[in-house]
Chains A and B, each alone.
Chain A
């Protein structure tokens, strides 16, 4: 199957206008020894019917779709309202390019402006961009910006930041010879003593996550005071779903807020596409990577929206741009703006409350099982670590029989935590499902 409208007759007429005898002649500038001899070795084309069937078969091989999911660790199983898919299905949105021609791109531009506003409202920050690839790359780009602005070459990252975020930070930092050092954790949260010991006037920035990778709430005021005292940039990675209920990071002094926006209307989808949230205070506005939409007027005085401060970007500034980012995650940001419009001022708080209540219920039940305990005392939002009587990987394995994905075994990323299981709860999990998890855990004690 192909999608070519031209007929052979069309092609003949076109060749005549061009003045060549065959399409082949149009390729005469490719040296003959660089021409592919024969066909590409890929499977033959399929009709739509065959393709649809094949894709359904592949999708059905993903047995995980029918399991009850308690895995979080950076991707969360929240309910996605029907309106999200319906709006995203409008091909005016999804078949558009980047809105470089504002007069015929007001939908994309205005929705980004609305998105920027909502992210500012949630985080309390001055400005938000139109999205980064994901939370991890947003964190990594924040580190390079902070180091570039401060002309300092050390970055401190708490070991309670998502391990993959830490890995991406290292990838980006390495290219700029920025030394990334990790701050130890203690009792499931950042060890502020360790932080104080590592801070110095050569530290560009400190990165923490709130709630942290273990689900625990960090002592953000104490950390913030120490970071500010050393003149470093305070970068906070958030789960933005918590911000309906928790105080905005601007209130505790965050300079740059990043986060994984998947939670707002985007499916888990085996890890992507998601969207990286980035919001900054005024000081960082002109160094922020990515697209930014501003309000303006047309030649009749009518309100309209355009891309703005583009001189930060690669298509204008080339090697002196603040980043190389071009394509972003616009459609995922649209999902977020539709989701946040659906939830609204009240809903976002209530969804957060249900997550907290349900997680508290499950943690309480698990803590009563012999051999299990809640790993740390720190308060948590919708995710918490449990110490199991056996290897947590074995726990996960055993519960698969009951069609339950029990959580993320922390031993996979954190040496010494082999018996710890990270469990996430969303508003989607029912009491019955949580009781089934508890029953399964009891069976292993």
Chain B
């Protein structure tokens, strides 16, 4: 079994070093002469002192303690952990994309600007929208931009009474958090028995104080909302706008477009749908796309093409402003651009179709062993629950997830969406083979059986990982969030 790795501070030794610097090639002056003495640090910052081989071994050994898409299956629902093509990483490492300062004159960055301009137009086409800003750094950041656009739109029309945003109870946590950060009150809309928005409840909640509805479609149950056209009419007829959370867009690429469904503003997660890696939590990229009537409110700048030259345009007097410095997570855009160019229209559609096929296949293989709260064809993901297993054996979702670790696969998303008790949310993606799906389905079936035959084995899992179940409550109670040198 792999052993834990000491902290980099614990392998530090005074006098060791990895860095080297050129000889100072200008006349040396005393720093105390150049900076006020009061501003100079008295004690050096407690950074580690290690040699280069210490450093490389530390991070290499550490890396071996992690699961990743390149190691094994990662069916984390709503996260779209698809394979990240290597050639895209190479493209993003090209010096021509890395060694450019964001404030260079536009004519010296024509390749970067062209890439951004083209990506804006591809994303608009895929979304069925008119204009795109690439600035938001992540999905939640795109949501906030979209919410602020909705706010700015109503205010520009002097419609100041719209203080609420409607959000289904199946929504991602970022939706209500983004609406609140955008200054709105959140009103939750229940789901109906088929897993979609409860249309009657929506109708009752929708009035002139509502700025808009945030919707994920297919939703977090992996179900396409069949009533989307009715929903669209209800919201629009009362003057609200429709926001599309693109987290689940991998299900519909080239098959159906949010713009055509009537959505007014959306974000995509380039790190989910367009194959850029998740990086252990980031960086992502969350471009926001709008219909033309919302274009005046987009963040600045965007890239425009004029007389054959690409340039950054700041000319948008009604803009919501800036979401971040500079122009967004550019190198993530490079990878997403490369991904879209690789696949083309056929490839994107086929990717979606296989994502949906793979999800339905796993669902059918395991349906007899777990509860399926919404038993219909799913899109790219689905939700099951070990409700009966829990009742009869005491084995919970958490236990099943931890037992899956012993099979070398990452567990599905746990306990989400909140409307399903003991939810397990499974998203296989299109880049997994039938063999992998079978291995996973067999593992889930074996664990379901094991729950009856040897429940303790499941409840005490994992048994093969570098550490066992960790005490999360203890971590919060006895907070230790930085290393301190022992006295």
Contact = CB atoms under 8 A, between A and B. Distances in A.
Does A associate with B in a complex?
A: yes
Given A59-B111, A95-B68, A269 B331 contact: yes
Interface string B37-60: 011111011111110100110111
Contacts of B31: 245, 353, 356-357
A175 B108 CA distance: 36
A324 B144 contact: yes
Nearest to A407: B103
A427 B347 contact: no
Interface in B351-393: 351, 353-354, 356-358, 360-361, 364-365, 376-377, 379
A231 interface: no
Contact of A56 (B7, B94, B137, B342): B94
Given A2-B351, A14-B361, A268-B101, A345 B44 contact: yes
Given A45-B347, A69-B101, A71-B103, A23 B84 contact: no
Contacts of B5: 106, 110
A45 B181 contact: no
B316 interface: no
A50 B431 CA distance: 22
A300 B104 CA distance: 55
B contacts with A: majority SS: loop
B358 to A, nearest CB: 8
Contact of A106 (B65, B181, B331, B479): B65
A344 B19 contact: yes
Given A87-B56, A110-B62, A96 B278 contact: yes
Contacts of A343: 18-19, 47
Nearest to B98: A267
A64 B326 contact: no
B108 A64 contact: yes
Contact of B29 (A54, A73, A351, A360): A360
A342 B252 CA distance: 45
B162 interface: no
B9 interface: yes
A437 interface: no
Interface residues of B, number: 204
Nearest to B102: A271
B183 A177 contact: yes
B284 interface: yes
A127 B482 contact: yes
Interface stretch (B201-209, B234-242, B450-458, B468-476): B468-476
Interface string A39-75: 1111111101001101111111111110101010111
Contact of A342 (B55, B98, B338, B350): B55
Contacts of B322: 136, 164, 167-168, 171
B313 interface: no
Interface stretch (A151-159, A183-191, A198-206, A328-336): A328-336
Contacts of B89: 89, 94
Contacts of A61: 96, 110-111, 114
A323 B181 contact: yes
B104 A405 contact: yes
B101 A318 contact: no
Interface in A305-327: 305-309, 313-321, 323-327
Contact of B99 (A96, A267, A271, A332): A267
Given A40-B254, A75-B103, A294-B475, 13 more contacts: A5-B431, A59-B111, A100-B414, A111-B59, A114-B9, A134-B137, A221-B38, A272-B327, A298-B469, A303-B4, A318-B176, A341-B48, A397-B105
18 contacts: A26-B379, A36-B254, A42-B126, A45-B344, A62-B110, A81-B18, A92-B68, A96-B67, A97-B81, A108-B280, A114-B483, A136-B322, A137-B141, A269-B331, A327-B137, A341-B55, A347-B18, A405-B104
